[in-house]
Structure 1
Amino acid sequence: MTQFSKIAFVAARGDTAEAARARLASRYGDAAPEKADVIVALGGDGFMLQTLHQYMTSRIPIYGMNQGTLGFLMNEYREDSLVERLAEAQAATVHPLRMRAVTLNGEQHEALAINEVALLRQTRQTAKLRISIDGRVRVEELVCDGALVATPAGSTAYNLSAHGPVLPLSAGALALTPISAFRPRRWRGALLGRNATVKIDVLETAKRPVSATADFNEVRDVASVEIREAPEIDLILLFDAGHSLEERILSEQFLT
């Protein structure tokens, strides 16, 4: 059981979340995020991702309370007994993906993704991609709307919508998933070890432009993208006892 004496509250824009932040800060105090023992994020999953990105290298645990729509990464919103809930919360450590993208004019861009790195066609023309794993070409030409690499934490998001596999946190794997693949028709993607390096080269770049997005950071007109896990970055999420992130991910596989 961990005691958190200095709590910072951050909230998504909007009357409901901001009013909740004011009430909680008045009741439990409000430390500056950079000096806090724990950050309580009030909003939905999108705001949780923003908060994780903002404090990416701080190693400060983040506990979300849902003031949004879905709230997969959030806990139930309740104002009572917050200190006790935080003390009994279960920690989940996740590692982001590091994307290195090179554009057609040679510019290099780097960004981190907690959910996924996705490549998507920019026009009506399908994309043509060549996929290499650890320096070996595995798919010579994938004709598709795009492709993505997802973390276990992000495997229930865009990856699942693209019919990719749900990955338990303990699996030590990444999901490589095509998006609306036209050829080869029967290729449904691959499970990769967490240490794998994925390189995706864009073919016929002038005719078939492609963008790359790491969560909400987009780079357009890419020529190639390299993706691998960033194991040196620990993101610590807190969940109420009995409602861990591992349990939520497992439960997704049994929804009907």
Structure 2
Amino acid sequence: MPSDKAPRSAPEKVEKLYFVASDTAEAQEACTRLVARYGEVSAEEADVIVALGGDGLMLQTLHKFMGAGKPIYGMNRGSVGFLMNEYREDDLLSRVAEADATPIHPLSMDVVDQSGKSSTAQAINEVSLLRQTSQAARLRISIDGRVRLEELICDGIIISTPAGSTAYNLSAHGPILPISSPLLALTPISAFRPRRWRGALLPNHARVDIDILEPEKRPVSASADHREIRDVTRVSVHEDGSVEGLIMFDREHGWDERILTEMFRY
């Protein structure tokens, strides 16, 4: 069965662009030149949104236009640029028209904190739970309503999408996931007990519930990409297949190629 995350072609016509840029001088100068050269319309009228900056800007842009049906084509004017294409000013309309658009679905994070307040946030890369003090966190992990790990003593844990598997998840020695794989990576951060547990691969339809044990003595924060909620007592995470974002890559250096390169990097 083909994955709903398989790359798609760009819109039939790419004539109207809307530009967003990070606050750096390099990105702002690039935006000024490109607008002068290609013109600009509003985001609502645009065929494609062009993001100029680094991976942080791309994540912000994907969050802002999630569910809007607008493909986003990034060009690197930042540092890492894993989510961005190479910056070139020539033939931009042709490049965008020939690029592939990969659909991505965010994680939905539902949180209850120590005051009983409930909050919801979305993550494109990952949901991460982290200890707030010198005390290690104690977590109980359930998958689809069944307790799978009664107690994990650790610095934290990450639930990562394929899109985020090369980010924080990889730094914590989690697996790299092909972008079209129907999987989530569950990766512990500095697990103390059970010491040999290295995490799990889960189907993307799984629901992950994490209960914080001793939340007052061992407080934990939960983050969905850049949004952090502190002093949580319970976190539930699932992929929201009803919401979709579209990220575009040049065909000669698409997301699958980028991930394969990371897999064989040493």
1:35 counterpart SS class: coil
Distance apart, 1:170 and its partner CA: 2.0
Match of 1:30 among 10, 29, 40: 40
Residue aligning to 1:53: 63
CA apart distance, 1:3: 2.2
Correspondences of 1:182-221 after superposition (within 5 Å):
182-221=192-231
Structure 2, unmatched stretches of 5+, are 1-8
CA distance in 1, matches of 2:77, 2:26: 7
What displacement does 1:110 show?
Answer: 0.3
Q: How does 1:126-165 map to 2 (within 5 A)?
A: 126-165=136-175
2:261 is aligned, of 235, 243, 251, to 251
Moved segments of 4+, more than 2 Å: none
Runs of 5+ consecutive residues of structure 1 not aligned to the other structure = none
**Which of 12, 27, 30 is equivalent to 1:17?**
27
The CA distance in 2 between the partners of 1:162 and 1:131, in whole Å, is: 18
Displacement of 1:241 in angstroms is 1.4
TM-fit CA distance, 1:56: 1.3
Aligned-CA RMSD value: 0.8
With normalisation by structure 2, the TM-score equals 0.95
Q: How does 1:212-231 map to 2 (within 5 A)?
A: 212-231=222-241
Alignment match, 1:42: 52
Alignment correspondent of 2:5: none
String of CA shifts for 1:71-113, please: whole Å, max 9, x gaps.
0000000000001101100111111100000001110010000
1:86 to 71, 96, 103: 96
SS at match of 2:97: helix
Q: Is the contact between residue 38 and residue 61 of structure 1 (CA under 8 Å) also seen in structure 2? A: yes
SS of alignment partner, residue 164 of structure 1: coil
| Residue of structure 2 aligned with 1:115, choices 125, 141, 145 | 125
Cα-to-partner distance string for 1:103-144 (whole Å, 9 max, x where unaligned): 011100100000000000000000000000000000100000
Would you say the 8 A contact 1:11–1:42 is kept in 2?
Answer: yes
Give the CA deviation at 1:182: 0.3
Q: Which moved more, 1:32-41 or 1:131-140?
A: 32-41
TM-score (norm 1): 0.99
Match of 1:17, SS state, is: helix
Asked if the contact 1:57–1:233 (Cα under 8 Å) also holds between the matched residues in 2, the reply is yes
Q: 2:185 aligns with which of 175, 186, 190?
A: 175
Q: Percent identity?
A: 60
Task: Decide which moves more: 245-254 or 143-152.
Answer: 245-254
2: distance between equivalents of 1:113 and 1:246? 21
| Comparing 243-252 and 7-16, the one that deviates more | 243-252
Residue-pair matches, total: 256
> Mean Cα displacement is larger for which, 194-203 or 167-176?
167-176
Paired residue type of 1:84: S
- The DSSP-based 3-state class of the residue aligned with 2:176 is coil
Q: Deviations over 1:186-211 (max 9, x none)?
A: 00000000000000000011100000
Which of 114, 128, 139 in structure 2 is aligned with 1:104? 114
Q: Distance in 2 between matches of 1:251 and 1:132?
A: 33
What's the CA shift for 1:57? 2.0
User: In structure 2, how many angstroms separate the alpha carbons of the residues matched to 1:14 and 1:215?
Assistant: 21
Deviation at 1:70, TM superposition (A): 0.8
Distance 2:252 2:180 in 1: 17
User: Which amino acid in the other structure matches residue 10 of structure 1?
Assistant: V
CA distance in 1, matches of 2:132, 2:16: 46
Separation (CA, whole Å) in 1 of partners of 2:121 and 2:253 = 30
Deviation at residue 34 of structure 1 after TM alignment = 2.2
AA at the equivalent of 1:98: S
Aligned with 2:44: secondary structure? helix
